[in-house]
Structure 1
């Protein structure tokens, strides 16, 4: 029925001024300096700077391990200070316009470097550690470190800005795919569902009303303008609603077996991951068979994840419905990769008499 793709995380169309503000904060180019990956990146850059400083001396002397150690200690200390200061000040920076936040972050990094250099020089002279060298003045030491910091900080902030621009392009492409694919409906399902409902109105009005509600729920989920994320319980209910409509149409030809009691219904996941799988099971597995068949949906908990298995009979090659271009499966895989990266997967296994799809999603 539907071939949908979710808009990316943080790209939810805002409906209020407050939502717009939240979206702007989420899309601010400044990274979260309170995370380990950002700290690690800054420390790697700092160590590279230390190597350049040591390997490019102003005289012809050969660099020593002591010089490398002193330079590494200095720049790593500065990298940690940068990270702590930017981490603590990020809530304030996010309230500024992007260009103002950039200048504020840049100034904060320069000020931190100058202050740290002054403290380091003062402690070195007071304790006679010999790190800064007897011939070097405080002004020269602070100025030298500040100039190096100005160059490195500009490059680092520019890198974060360009990285965020690239991520925004990825988000824009994902939104465009979502808008183009979210409303794709298989015409045969819509027409058959409406015909089935029309035939039930006079004879079984209660079932007709239930079918209309199930169809409305499916359309609401597919055409939603939100981020399309809901609970596993809601996803299971959507799949059940779809299968109830197909049971009205196919009658005794369609048998459904559910075994999903182990699944956590409160788990949050992207919408319409399961429903397209059960739809494919009916359309490609049960419908082509004269006597119909059984669709099995089995859910289980495994270490660190859940698995949902959808199994349907596999008709002979001469009776199979056209497979199309696999848009539904491709979209499911794409959304799993976007939301869960390598921790989620959709595995397809075509056996002799059965077609099995296994949906694996991380869950702690």
Structure 2
């Protein structure tokens, strides 16, 4: 089931986007069903012309309601609590009343005789039906919005838990490297401590909330690789090809680091001669593609339960939506992790940043 767009999850009582096609479609279908039920209840199944005019009237009514609520949505969103829904419900009834009065007048002026009864009864019945259906539809919108809020909160909690699960992994390894360097090369140990401090800041969330940029993520990768270079020496060689990527591309913090850590731990560390870890990026018309590849050792390295890659998958899905793709697997005797991240327009970028 497709739910209408309710805006960002930070709204205390988010209204549906009355300007969107899903909301208009919902009103049209509900109105058509109501008109069909009324036609069937009347028992006159042969009057298809009256039924057709009724569907046309309901469609015109739904369009008028959507236009008015769309224009007034900025004002409605300023109301506190549940008042936006109450105000929207109260606006529906005068719209239906005026439209019904006009329709009854046109029916009499054109002598179509499609509407039985007086103007007052026709307007009254339509307003009552609209009040009942409007309350039901707005209740549906409200429940769906609350469901989306809870889903976003659960997803955010899962992402934070996955982030916390991978933090100690590389931090403790780096601290062991620093301890080994202190008696051998104090200058390198001091530089490593500085790199480690930046990784601590990123991992423990001391930066501003929200996304970082690709350029900032690459800088963190350089610090991480500098630490691992001291531990592995010439066994670790890194190949970079990222010239085509926009360095200001919004990227969740520490998204690439666990992938690079997996490449070093499972692809380079088990090999006595070491190998090359490649970091490549290309830009497509509507997305960027980032690949991290490492050699496939004859026997897999011990340890590791997929938390790093699982975290990346969930964070990418949460941040970029269903258009993002994360693929991982062997390719030409190398293990390749590929991220295809869509280029978001400014509106989508701001909305998704608010969700962090």
When normalised by structure 2's length, the TM-score is 0.86
Which aligned segments of 4 or more residues in structure 1 are displaced greater than 6 angstroms?
A: none
> 2:316 maps to which residue?
336
Over the aligned positions, Cα root-mean-square deviation in angstroms equals: 2.4
Asked whether 1:130 is paired with 2:112, we answer yes
> 1:283 maps to which residue?
265
CA distance change for structure 1 residues 273 and 187 in 2, over 3 Å: closer, same or farther? closer
CA distance change for structure 1 residues 255 and 209 in 2, over 3 Å: closer, same or farther? same
Asked whether 1:43 is paired with 2:25, we answer no
| Match of residue 320, structure 1, among 301, 317, 322 | 301
CA distance change for structure 1 residues 339 and 65 in 2, over 3 Å: closer, same or farther? farther
Q: Supply the distance in 1 between the matched residues of 2:113 and 2:340 (Cα, whole angstroms).
A: 55
CA distance change for structure 1 residues 207 and 228 in 2, over 3 Å: closer, same or farther? farther
Asked whether 1:103 is paired with 2:103, we answer no
Give structure 2 stretches of 5+ with no counterpart. 1-6, 345-356
SS of residue in 2 equivalent to 1:184: helix
Q: Supply the distance in 1 between the matched residues of 2:227 and 2:292 (Cα, whole angstroms).
A: 18
Asked whether 1:53 is paired with 2:38, we answer yes
- 1:53/1:71 contact within 8 Å kept: no
- 2:167/2:203 contact within 8 Å kept: no
SS of residue in 2 equivalent to 1:342: coil
| Match of residue 231, structure 1, among 203, 206, 213 | 213
| Superposition pairs of residues 22-37 of structure 1, within 5 angstroms | 23=10, 26-37=11-22
> 1:165 maps to which residue?
146
Of residues 92-101 and 209-218 in structure 1, the stretch that sits farther from structure 2 once superposed is 209-218
Q: Supply the distance in 2 between the matched residues of 1:179 and 1:363 (Cα, whole angstroms).
A: 24
Deviations 1:186-212 (A, max 9, x none): 645323312333455677566444433
SS of residue in 2 equivalent to 1:98: coil
Q: Supply the distance in 2 between the matched residues of 1:89 and 1:213 (Cα, whole angstroms).
A: 54
Q: Supply the distance in 2 between the matched residues of 1:247 and 1:131 (Cα, whole angstroms).
A: 88
Residue 170 of structure 1, CA deviation: 0.9
| Match of residue 70, structure 1, among 37, 45, 53 | 53
- 1:114/1:146 contact within 8 Å kept: yes
When normalised by structure 1's length, the TM-score is 0.84
Residue 260 of structure 1, CA deviation: 0.6
> 1:19 maps to which residue?
none
Q: Supply the distance in 2 between the matched residues of 1:187 and 1:340 (Cα, whole angstroms).
A: 26
Q: Supply the distance in 2 between the matched residues of 1:157 and 1:237 (Cα, whole angstroms).
A: 48
SS of residue in 2 equivalent to 1:323: coil
> 1:87 maps to which residue?
70
Residue 259 of structure 1, CA deviation: 0.2
SS of residue in 2 equivalent to 1:264: coil
Of residues 278-287 and 117-126 in structure 1, the stretch that sits farther from structure 2 once superposed is 117-126
> 1:189 maps to which residue?
170
- 1:10/1:27 contact within 8 Å kept: no
> 1:292 maps to which residue?
274
Of residues 211-220 and 283-292 in structure 1, the stretch that sits farther from structure 2 once superposed is 211-220
Of residues 141-150 and 331-340 in structure 1, the stretch that sits farther from structure 2 once superposed is 331-340
SS of residue in 2 equivalent to 1:89: helix
| Match of residue 308, structure 1, among 267, 270, 290 | 290
Q: Supply the distance in 2 between the matched residues of 1:339 and 1:185 (Cα, whole angstroms).
A: 18
Deviations 1:275-307 (A, max 9, x none): 211111011111111121110011012232111
Give structure 1 stretches of 5+ with no counterpart. 1-8, 12-22
> 1:4 maps to which residue?
none
